[in-house]
Every structure is written in structure tokens, then in C-alpha cells.
Structure 1
Amino acid sequence: MSEENQSEGAKLTKVVPIRMDANFFFDRAVSSLDRLQYDKALKYFRKAVEYEPDNPVNHCNMAGILSEIGDYEGSNKVLSTILNEVDGTMTECYFYMANNYANMEQFEAAEEALITYLEQDPEGQFLAEAEEMMDLLQYELNRPAKVRHIESLKGVAEHDQARSMLEKGEFAGAVKLLETLLRDQPDFLAARNNLALGYYYLGMFKEAMDAISQVLERDPGNLHGLCNLAVFIQHEGDEKLLEELSDRLERIVPFHQEHVFKLATTMGILGKHEAAYRHFKRLLRDNDVNFDPCLYHYAAVAAYNIGRYNEARTLWKHAAKLDPDSEVPGFYLDRLQELDLEDAELEPPVISYQYRLPFEEQFRMWKKWGEGIPDQIKQDPLIRSSFFWGLRHGDSRTKLQVIEAFSQIADSEVKEALRAFLMEPDEEKYLKDIALFVLRGLGVNEPLPIVLEGETRTVDPGFTSSRLPVWKSEWQAVLDEAKRRMAKRYNVMQLHDVETLWVEFVTRSFPDVPSVSHLGGWAAALEYLTAKLHQRHVTYEEVAKRYGTSASTASRCTKRVDEVCGIKEKMNAMFPSG
């Protein structure tokens, strides 16, 4: 062979053959969707159907595109083909057909398709949406539905209530309601999906995985279940399984608006920002939802995370117009402005999709303003979820911070979480003491079960001390005075330590407890020693003035407490000199 022929042969060996299969055309279709080239997308989805005619997903993708471009009749023909020739168990096709008929204003046909869906799919993914559509059809037809009692709608009101509770951050209440509902209707998959989320928000990971496994056992293709599973697996850290599931989710082009949003947010959480961006852009073309500033923020975040900064800027500006009172769009527009001035070679950090300021920015603002947790933050389900997670899975410092935050949130969910915390066998006694202290501050005075050293005991948080035969009112008055003066300047742990210090002093001194006629002096001593224990600067003059006593009295009382409780020794052990 000549050198020229050999060279030509070498070139030929470098040609990579194109594998023309359903996946190839699917990828082309998705790429065309990204460029808003619907005709091409439809063409490629049709080719995918030709290569895999028995795969109902390919048919559904094609029906979805036809519906999106307004060819509702063509979409319904494809959906009928799925039901009659490909997979008759895909009952969600009846729901999609009902949507198409409603868009064509063929309300009788829409009602028939919707009733068929509800009757054939008692586990339906779209029960809440179906109920809303039924209300719309009754209004348009000016009469009640032909079928008054539909088995699959049982429990919908309870499920809606539970879903609303989840959105408000009332996780424990939602979980109880969903558990009760599922005892009667174990195949109500939407409720089971939300139960899994409720468990997850509460930090009950094993229960969340069990619930989502039961969803997917009943319906392996349930999109909400698959998305929730992906998020749970990401938490568990199984990278191989997560990659397989992520690849599967990336190949789905949802038909229904709610599914598009679910998949978009899931892809964002998983770090698949290209896919998230594609789905959010689809939603922005939907006039039913594109007035929501949150949606523009989500799309802007996805654009930012894939380096499309100009588009992110445009989207955040639009969000700012739609929601002029929100600080969120402006915060990220400022971040973009700073990015322009930074080294272009440095990769900017990935940012969160949540429509709120980053938590560290909110925390900085609270500290700056000297205020507690604002009401809108107390009710934010994502922040509440992070608190519940922290109480279950955080380190000791995190758990202390959560318990302090709970003292400000002060609702029934918080009380229930703290009660449950007392029963955790592996938690530190000091943390449980703080939890009891907070429960008392929240008005819980009945006896409470608590696990200590492997044994379940009952304690009464309403009593300051249970080890003394008597607790005199003047001793309580000293403690009340100290806590009243310190309340706004010290945190929960420090207030707890004030109480612990005073109880220890009285207990060790009993029965020869000194006279507390100088109430202000003893209260000043408690604040002074607590401040020193927590390395806070304070003088005898400061505390004496605050409690209306003399510096010499405050000093004398402080020395007496120290003699009995050995505070200086504890401080030397905690903070040894260099």
C-alpha cells in the first residue's frame, strides 16, 4: 500500500459512526426544544417513536409537543394510540386528553375523559388537578358532574389540607393527617408522596425512604416519586445510583405543567442546571404561570449556574418588576454586578434556587438589626425544615442553635419536636436540659417523659428544682429578677446557665442558705458569673447599677456563690491561661 493510501486509511479510521437510535433522536428533539424549534422537535420525537414504537414515553413526548403548539386534536390522536395500541395502563393519558378537550372548549368530551381517568386510576397522580378541572367543567357546563361519587376523589380534601400544611411548614401535623388518610386509602399515591416529603422535612430519613419505596412499588414510573427518590438518594450519598436515576430523569419531557415544575426544581437540586433551565424556560412560555416572579428567579438561577449571565440579569430584572417589594432580585443583580468586576477565570459559586435571600445574608441582617427571627422566616417551610434537620442530625453546637431558634418560633410543632428530642436515647443531657428549659418558657408545665442514661423517667419542667424538699418564694424571686433583666441581652443557653447556677448554689447551701434580703445583689452576682463563664465582658459597677444595688454588695454576693459552686475553678479549667 502506498504512503498516500495508508494516510487516507488512517483518516478513515478516525471517523466515528453515528448510532441512529431512539436516544439519538430524543437528544436532537430536546436540543430543538431548547432553541424553541418545535417543528424540528416534533420531527425528531416522531423518529424516536419509529425506532421504539413500543415505548409509550416517546409517544407521550410527541403528544406533549403537539399540545404545546396548539394541535390539541393531533395530541389526542397520539394519546388514543398509546391507550389502544401501546400501553392501556397509562391512564394519565385520559387526564391529558381532558386538558386538550378543555382547551378546544369541548367540555362534554373533557368531562368524559376526566371521569374515565378518575374511575380507572384511583391512585391517580393528578387527583387534586382533576378536582379543580371538574369544578371548571361544572361551571362551563352549568350542571353537576355526571358521576356524583367517584371513589378516587375520597380523601382529596384531607390531602389538600395536608399539602397546605406542608407548604406552611407544619410538618408534624401534615404527617399525622397523611398517615391517617393512608390507613384508609393505602393506594393514594399523591398522599404517600407528600408523606415521604413530610418525613424528609422532619429529618426522618428512613421513614421517608420507606414511603417513597412504597410509591414506586405501586407505580414505578411515578414522576413525583422518582424526583423525590433522587433528592433522598443525593442526601444518602449513593453517587452511582443517583447518576443512573438522574440520567433517567433527564430524558423525560413532562406533559403536564405541574410535572414540568417538579422536574425543573429537582434537576436544579441535583445540580443538573442545563436540564433545569430548559424546563423553567418551558414554563415561562406558559401564560398560566409566567406572571409569577418566583419562576423568573428560578430560571435566572439556572441561567446563572450555567454561565448565561446576561440572560440571568434580564430574568432577575423582570422578577424585580413583578415583585418590587422583594429584596431577592436586587440582591442577585448586585451579585452579578460584582461578578463583572471579578477575575473572569474564577468560577462563581453555585447559588440556591430558593426565592429568598441566602440564609447567611438573612442571619447577618438579623444580627445587624438586633432583632429576633422575623415572622415570615419563622413560617418559611424550608427554613423550618432546616431547623428540624439540625435538631436530628446536627452537631451539639447546631442543636443548641436550633433549640434557641425554637424558643422564638414557639408554636405547637416546635413543642412536639422538643418533646420528641427528650426521648432520643443518644442525646446529651445538657441539650435535653436546655430543651426542658425552653419548653417551660413556652408554657409547657405538665410532667414530661425523658430518656436519661437508658431509662425513661418523668420530669416536671414547671419546677425549678426537684431535689430540694422546699423551694422558697424569695429564692425564686432572685432567679426571676436575674432572668428578667438578662432576657433581651443573653441567649437561651446563658439564661439556662443562670438558673442552673442559682439552683446549684441553693442546693449546696441547704439548709443554711444565706438571707436573700439583698435581692438585687444576688441577681447581679448571677449575671456577673454567667457573663464571665461565657467570656462576656462585664464589671461589678455595671451589674450593680442594673440591679439597683452597690458594687460592693454585688462583689460580696459573687464571692459567696463562687465559694460554694467553684466558678473560678471551672473557668480556669475551661479557659486555661496561656
Structure 2
Amino acid sequence: MGKQLKRKRSAAKVIPFVQSGEYYFKKGLIAYKRGDLARAKKYLERAVQLNGQEAMFAFQLAVVLTELGEYQASNQLFLTVVHELDPEMSECFYFLAHNYAHLGLFREAMNHAQTYLEREPDGEFLEEIEDLIELLSIEYEDDEFISQEDLIVKQEKARSLLEKGDFPAAIEVLEAMIAEYPEFWSAYNNLALAYFYMGNAEKAQSVINEVLEKNPGNLHALCNRLVFFHYLQDEAEVARLTEELACVHPFLIDQRYKLGATFALVGRFDLAFKWLHHLYKMRFHGDFLFYYWLAYSAYYTGHARLAKTAWEKVIDLSPDKKGQEPWGVFEEKIKRWMNGTNIAEVLYGLYVISKSLNADEVKAYIHVRETMEQHWLVREFIDYILLPAQAVVPLYIVDAYAVMDELWEKNVLADEKMYIAWFHVFANAVDVLRNFSNYQAWAAAIEYVWRRNQGESVTQKGIGEKYSISLSTVQKYVKQVRKWL
């Protein structure tokens, strides 16, 4: 009997559908039939995450969102189904009509109701859709339709005012929209941005809090909150929110774009590239900002060719951006580092230069040796980079360069502060320690300490595996880094 039980348990662990979207979809349906909408939403969201191309999963989630009163999120899913996943699912137009009617957007409701009738003249929801059309025709006369058109005009006006920088006028328009349409969440998010751009961070945060209280999980609000903390230079909150949003896998196209652009804006180009490149491969046709952030995230994650392709699109769409290329910005940083007094930044600037030097460029940079600050570490580093055959270079210089190679190889260009941190440690420790030959250990320790200081949830074990060294070695060198950083 015991063996039989053990066999049953073992078999249960390896049934493949347990971790599939189908499994969570079935659980979501069961919860829905029981009337447990919150649990149904949770399971169906998981099903959509696991299989984003399954139209029925997205459709059922949208139905649950409708019953929960989350009409805008529901509409986005229904539209995704009919435009991307399964254009034949005409019943989506029935639900869209009802949702827009609940939102007070009566002209949209009427348009989708008529679309359903055209597609399904004998459809399952024929009676219901005819009742809705009759109700819209009787109850909502021209004044209501004009009101909806007025909302669209106001939305466009608010957007234009924000772009022009006329924030007081934008606030006036947005607050009027919210008073009339209290569930029009995009108006709240734009209102928060307007207050923030005016310098009223407290009011901006208050608006965001109101959105998240009434519409928990609103991704645009969460992204705006991250941007606010970034501009306020609250690094702890930026790190915390970035880690939270890094675990989010949105289904909707506009949410993926918002997430990718937000990560790029706060300098997490690795996370930004994940979403923006994904959209690019889907042939997403974005505005110039999409290609702008794609170019930056591609460049800072080592995809130079894609960065240049994306930047060509930026210039086509917005010629005034010429001169703001990510590689040009990086070159400006190098100049600033090279001309500064921070030894660690100077050493990193020299390292970056060395990665692209050819014979002619070496000759062009020889003058650097004569013009730069006469710090002995800088001079020895320059000799190693520019005059390798003419100068005797100490081993600690070779080691420092090799440690930087380890970091450079296993991370992205955007992690420049981490690279500078290594040269801080090196410059502080070199008077006492002259042996930095365990390249992997120093690199692993630097990355662990730096990422932990940024609030990232990394472990010493995970970092050790990344650099192919033992946990005990990581622990040993982490102590050294913390001593000298």
C-alpha cells in the first residue's frame, strides 16, 4: 500500500499540465462559476501570462474584469483579442458595447453594438444587443453623444497642453474630466504628471495613491511613481519599485511599451531592452520615443547595430533629436570622466577608450599621457593602454584591467557606476594590496556589493555561480570590497 501511495505522489508531480496555462484557465473557470471573481481573476491572469497567444484565455479574463467593474482593462483585452489573437471572436464587440456604456462612452458603445450586429445578425447575443441599442437610442440623446465627443476633445487638449508645458491649464482640463468620468484612469495619471512637472511632488504622489487605491495594480500609475522617485533621487525607492516591476509581465501592448520606456528612463536598460526589443520583433509601430528608448537600451546592452537602426527611425520621425545619439552621450561622459579629478572615473574612462582603439587612434591619444593629471596610477594605466611595448607595467595594473574585463564581459554598458566602483576599490587598496590576480573573485564581490547597495535582490550564491567561483570565495572577497569601497 505504501509503495502504491508513493507511486501516485510521484506521478502527480510530473503531470505536465500543472504548470501550463490550461491548468490555470480551468481553475479560473471553476472559481468563476462559483462566483469567486477575485480568485478567478488571479488564475486567469496567470493563464494569460503563461500563454499570451491563446485568445480564449484573454477573452475569459476580460469577462471577469467586466464583472469586477474594471471596464477599461477589460476593453483593452477584448480589443487585443479581436485585433491580434482571433478576429473571428465577434462576441467581444457585445462586451465592448456594454463596457463602454457603463463608462458613459455612449457613442463607442453604439459603434461596437452595431459592429456586433453586422458580424453576427443571428448571434447568441442578438436580443441583448438590440435591447442595448434601443436603450442607447432612447436614454442617451445627442447631448450625451456630444458629451462623449467633448471628452475626446478634452483628452486631446490636455495632451497638447502637457506637451507645450502649460501645466496649470492641463490640470484644469484634467480635473474637469475626472469630475465627469471618475473611472477614466488615464486622466488621473496625466494629472499626476502635470502636478509633478510643476514641482508639486506631494500632490502628484497623492493623485497616484488615489489611482492605486481605486484601481490597484494600475501599471501606468506604478510606472509614474517609479519615475517620480527617480527624479527625486530616492535611490532606495527606485530600487524597490524597479525590483517589483521587474516581476510584472503585462499582456497588453501599451503596458509593455510603458514598462519598457519607464525602465529606460530610470537607467535600467537591461530590463528596458527586454520589453522594447520584444515589441520591435512583433513589428510594433511606435512613436519616436519608442525608437528613442529602444536605441538607448540596445546601445547600453551591447546591441550597437540595432541601436543605429532604431536611431535612424528616431531621426526620420523627429529630426530635432539629431546629436542626441546614445553613443554621442556616452562619448561626452568619457570626456567628463577623463577631464575630472576622480581617479576611479579617469581610470574607467581610459578603460573604455582602450576597448575601441586602433593603431591610428593610439597615436591620436598619445597626447593624453602628457596632458592628464600626474597621478601615478593614471600614468601607469595610460602606459599599459597606449604604450604596451615601450613601458614596464606593474602586474597590479594588468590585474586591475583584467578584473574590469570580467565585469565588462558579464554585464552591460549601463552598469557604469559599478565599473567605476571597482576602480574606487582598486585605487584605495593598491597601496596595501598589490595582488588582484583572482579576477573572477574581485569582479563577483564588486557586483554583489554594488547591486546590494542599489537595493537589488541578489545572493552571494547566485553571483558565485555567475562567475564560476565558490560561495566561500565570494564571501571572502566581499569582506575585502566592503573594506575598501
TM-score between the two structures when normalised by the length of structure 1: 0.42
Larger gyration radius, structure 1 or structure 2:
1
Q: Provide the TM-score with structure 2 as the length reference.
A: 0.49
